[in-house]
Amino acid sequence: MTQTSQFEENIITTEQVAQHNTRESCWIIVHGKVYDVTEFLPEHPGGSRIILKYAGKDATAEYDPIHPPDAITENLPPSKHLGVVDPASVEEKVTEMTEEEKQVAQRHQSKPPLSECLSLHDIETVARYVMADKAWMYYSSGADDEMTMRENHNAYHRIWFRPRILRDVTEVKFDTKILGHSTQMPLYITATALGKLGHPDGELNLTRSAAKNGIIQMIPTLASCSFDDIRGAATPDQVQFLQLYVNKNREVTERIVRRAEKSGIKGLFVTVDAPQLGRREKDMRMKFDDVGSKEQAESGENVDRSQGAARAISSFIDPSLNWNDLKWIFSITKMPIILKGVQCWQDAVMAAKSGCAGVVLSNHGGRQLDFAPSGIEILPEVMAALKHANVDSSSFEVYVDGGVRRASDILKAVALGAKAVGIGRPFIYAYSAYGEAGVNRAMDILRDEFEMCMRLLGARSLDEVTPEMVNAANLTNVDIPRDYLFHSNYERLNGLHGKIDVTRGSKL
């Protein structure tokens, strides 16, 4: 910030900028400031071509939804921050909608009223319908063959209830505490990146709905909105956590952590399952559709093509992060530290022994290592191992995320020992489809499901949701999702069926 301020007085006209529109000299405008990105072109994780498209022009609209607000200032040396645009030189451009934007708008017109959404699945259906392709693909994609992503959801289906009858369930409650902070339901809004892809208000939709519904939000490192904006949108007493990607540059991380603690953040969730971001082919494929792979191929440019939106924004993440670094993190903050992305009981025990306040059993929504187990599948063995290691459950909490769509899913996790679950995609889908009202509706639906499920289970409070209330005997019998890529290449055996019409029309 201070670095760029010295250039603030430097006034540049749009005409001047327009002259630097080549690979040899490439200036762009972002948020009214002018940057020289010529030397940065080959380093841009998303390839140089996408920048060159805006050489000499204002790139803000393209830049905004897929970069953290301070990405450009963090990545460019101060010397490349050239100055501010002369407002007088800016032509009042009538921003015309693209064809896709028009279609998105049209679909928003014809979507069903929010009240017709009866489940989180319904809301997701509408999101899939209205969202722009790039946004939908970025949010909905998983790693490789998406085995883990689908298993995350499927695993819940292998847990069945053992409901109890004849208990007075007039009043049922399902509030609890997470790290000592109250929540109206045993869930929190987990961190997800690039929130503005789905809605111009991005993560603020979540902040506002979280306040209204007594739910805790975890603020993502890769938010589209700035940390300050998100904190600013919170009510005075609203509890928020922070998700942290540790930067190769530890000073940056320290700055982030201290700022968070100072601003009142109540817990720090350090992501440990993403030393490198996973291959998400749906997301990666959008890139080709976008920038015209053929042309690019012909231009001879040698970009790293194994990149979708996610990877493009994550090159700062430090793959060297290890258990020793935890000590350093403990040294710079008093916030409770939770490891997000634990995938086996051994690491859960190590986290407890290392002084963490908890772990999230998570595989990053199936977006990292394909064939990583679902959090819910390993929950029973993690709980058993923690007990065996004499970890005090009152000072070490276990959360699970991934695949949750119903209150019944959450109650299964609670029955097996989870303090709460994290929910990510469903809430982004909700605001992508209906803005903040969509998130509120999702909360309403979950609350209604909780009430019903608690009554039908025969549990008046979460204390009564015990391991005996579920049958998890089949939990580890993973039902493998279909490998679509393999199956569609498999040439189906036809025998003579391909040659004669055995059905003879409708005769048989």
**What residues between 400 and 439 interact with a second copy by CB under 8 A?**
405-406, 408, 412
* Beta strands at 33-36 and 81-85: parallel, antiparallel or unpaired: antiparallel
* Under rule CB under 8 A, residue 39 binds a second copy: no
Closest CB to a second copy among residues 86, 145: 145
Q: Binding residues for a second copy, how many (CB under 8 A)?
A: 126
Indicate whether 44 belongs to the interface with a second copy (CB under 8 A). no
Q: Which of residues 173-232 bind a second copy (CB under 8 A)?
A: none
Cβ proximity to a second copy: between 65 and 403 the closer is 403
**Phi and psi based region of residue 43 (left: phi greater than 0; alpha: psi -120 to 50; beta: remaining):** alpha
For the CB of residue 366, give the shortest distance to a second copy in the complex, in Å.
11
The yes or no reply on residue 384 touching a second copy (CB under 8 A) is no
Query: Per CB under 8 A, which of residues 156..175 are in contact with a second copy?
Result: 157-170
CB of 193 to a second copy, least distance (A): 17
Task: Report which of 323, 304, 322 is spatially closest to residue 314, judged by C-alpha positions.
Answer: 304
CB of 90 to a second copy, least distance (A): 34
Q: Show the CA angle centred on residue 1, arms to residues 202 and 261, nearest 5°.
A: 65
Of 71 and 456, nearer to a second copy (C-beta) is 456
Q: Cβ 398 to a second copy, closest distance in Å?
A: 15
331 binds a second copy per the rule CB under 8 A = no
CA 47 from centre of chain: 23
Output the smallest distance, CB 247 to a second copy, in A: 14
Stretch of 14-22, 209-217, 338-346, 384-392 lying at the interface with a second copy (CB under 8 A): 338-346
Which residue from 457, 459, 465, 472 is in contact with a second copy, where contact means CB under 8 A?
Answer: 457
CA distances from 425 to 89, 188, 365 (A): 42, 12, 9
Q: Segment contacting a second copy (CB under 8 A): 25-33, 51-59, 210-218, 337-345?
A: 337-345
CB of 95 to a second copy, least distance (A): 23
Token readout for 229 is 């904006």
The C-alpha atoms of residue 245 and residue 318 are separated, in whole angstroms, by 8
Of positions 23, 108, 128, 259, contacts a second copy by CB under 8 A = 128
305 sits near a second copy (criterion: CB under 8 A): yes
Task: Give the integer Cα–Cα distance in Å for 434 and 438.
Answer: 5
State the nearest-atom distance from the C-beta of 259 to a second copy, in Å.
Answer: 24
Is residue 282 a contact residue for a second copy (CB under 8 A)?
yes
385 binds a second copy (CB under 8 A): no
- CA of 427: how far to CAs of 198, 211, 304, 431, in Å? 11, 14, 32, 6
Sheet of strand 11-12: strand arrangement? 11-12, 81-85, 33-36, 27-30
Q: In whole angstroms, give the CA distance from residue 76 to residue 453.
A: 53
- With respect to a second copy, which residue has the nearer C-beta, 179 or 360? 360
Q: Which of 180, 232, 319, 355 binds a second copy (CB under 8 A)?
A: 319
CA–CA dist 128, 404 (Å, integer): 17
Determine how many CB atoms are found less than 10 A away from the CB of residue 185: 22
- Greatest alpha-carbon pair distance for the chain in Å reads 84
Q: Measured between alpha carbons, how far is 19 from 42 in angstroms, rounded to an integer? A: 20
Question: Rule CB under 8 A: is residue 78 a binding residue for a second copy?
Answer: no
> For a second copy, what does the binding mask look like between residues 84 and 123, x meaning CB under 8 A?
-------------------x---x--xxxxxxxxxx-xx-
Q: Which is nearer to a second copy, 236 or 498 (CB)?
A: 498
DSSP secondary structure of 213-282: HT-EEEEPTT-SS-HHHHHHHS-TT--EEEEEPPBSSHHHHHHHHHHHHHTT---EEEE-S-SS----HH
Write out the catalytic residue numbers: 245, 273, 364
Among 41, 291, 332, 478, interactor with a second copy by CB under 8 A: 478
